[in-house]
Amino acid sequence: MSEPWNVRARKKLIDLNMNRRQLAEIIGVNYSVMCAVLNGSVIRESVKQKICSYLKIN
């Protein structure tokens, strides 16, 4: 069974030795919004696409 995209994203951040704040700054997204999207409490496709694109995950 495949793991959810946000779990893969968090693992990729660890692999890149990067924190959420750094990712938010790089992709130009508000830190709070990005964290909510990564936690799954808010669904914003545009933010999800930016995260996935930068981290090169599906």
Would you mind telling me the total number of residues written for the chain in this entry? 58
- pLDDT 10s digits, 4-57: 999 999 999 999 999 999 999 999 999 999 999 999 898 899 999 999 999 999
**What is the distance between the alpha carbons of residues 47 and 31, in angstroms, rounded to a whole number?**
11
Q: Structurally, how many domains does the chain consist of? A: 1
Q: How far apart are CA 21 and CA 9, in angstroms?
A: 14
Q: What is the CATH number of the domain that holds 28?
A: 1.10.260
Full-model pTM? 0.89
Neighbours of 20 (CB within 10 A): 16
Q: Write out the residue range of the structural domain in which residue 15 sits.
A: 5-55
CA 33 – CA 17 distance, rounded (Å): 21
